[in-house]
Amino acid sequence: MYALEVQNLKKVYPNFTLGGISFAVEAGEIAGLIGRNGAGKSTTLKSIMRLISSEGTVRVFGRDFSEEERAAKELIGYVGGGFRFYPNKTLSAVAKAVAPFYPHWDGKAFKRYCEEYALVLTKRVRELSEGMKIKFSLALALSHGAKLLLLDEPTSGLDPLSREDFCDTLLSLKKQGVTVLFSTHITSDLMRVADRILYLSDGTLLTDGPLETLIGRYRFQRFASLSEAAAARAIGVKEGKDGYGGLVTGTSEGREATLDEIMIHLEWEKRRQNESTH
């Protein structure tokens, strides 16, 4: 069963277009949404949530978002990078303000998640670290029965230990059957937790599939010259301090490419192709 189905999602700005992308995330899956700054990651998540006007169809566990928005939103927990609301209120007061909006709010579950995440209910929001704000957002989302988490750059600004803690939290939620789609530019986090990768480039979905499949598709190889790279049919060849480097497929040459290298060289190849057609 799909937790999230997106078809022909489109948003047009004066200088950017999210170009009718389609994808699906299976229930219980952790999917990473990647791409360079300005690729359309935040626009995609906000469009799914209808926080901005956009075209396209979104289904959440089979519910059409446009026809059953309230019911769909009850199944979603959206975290837009930390927690920026009610800075002077205590965590307990924020929970009391949020609870009436959700008919299935579970106060006992909220307290249980706060204990699990070491959140002190008498603390004020402004007293929380960025990592604890993320955990507070998750506690609120899960306490109203969210089965799908949409997280926009949740680890941005976190130190490595806090990011590790966050990844552990996601893996724990996966065991509970929670589905996660989160955008990030920190690929090491994805290597730890992601089942699936959605790669956006300039508003288009460049690749979509299992992380293992994407990593297994490419190898990274170094070359002494451009002619050597061309003979190997290397992709996205770039000059570096040790000659040239690029991605190769269908060979055991080179080494396994990292997710960073795959992003960099696919973007470089796309840029090269665009330049050659103009």
pLDDT at 82: 61
Q: Which CATH class is domain 2-213?
A: alpha beta
pLDDT at 81: 63
SS3 of residue 41 by DSSP: helix
Q: pTM for the whole thing? A: 0.88
**Residue spans per domain, the chain:** 2-213, 218-276
Whether 50 contacts 86, CB under 8 Å? no
pLDDT at 83: 66
Task: List the Cα angle 167/173/176 in 5-degree steps.
Answer: 155
pLDDT at 90: 95
pLDDT along the chain (278 residues), means of 10: 96 94 96 93 94 95 93 88 78 93 90 91 92 87 90 84 87 93 91 95 92 94 95 94 93 91 92 76
pLDDT at 93: 94
The closest of 142, 144, 141, 158 to 79, measured between CA atoms, is 141
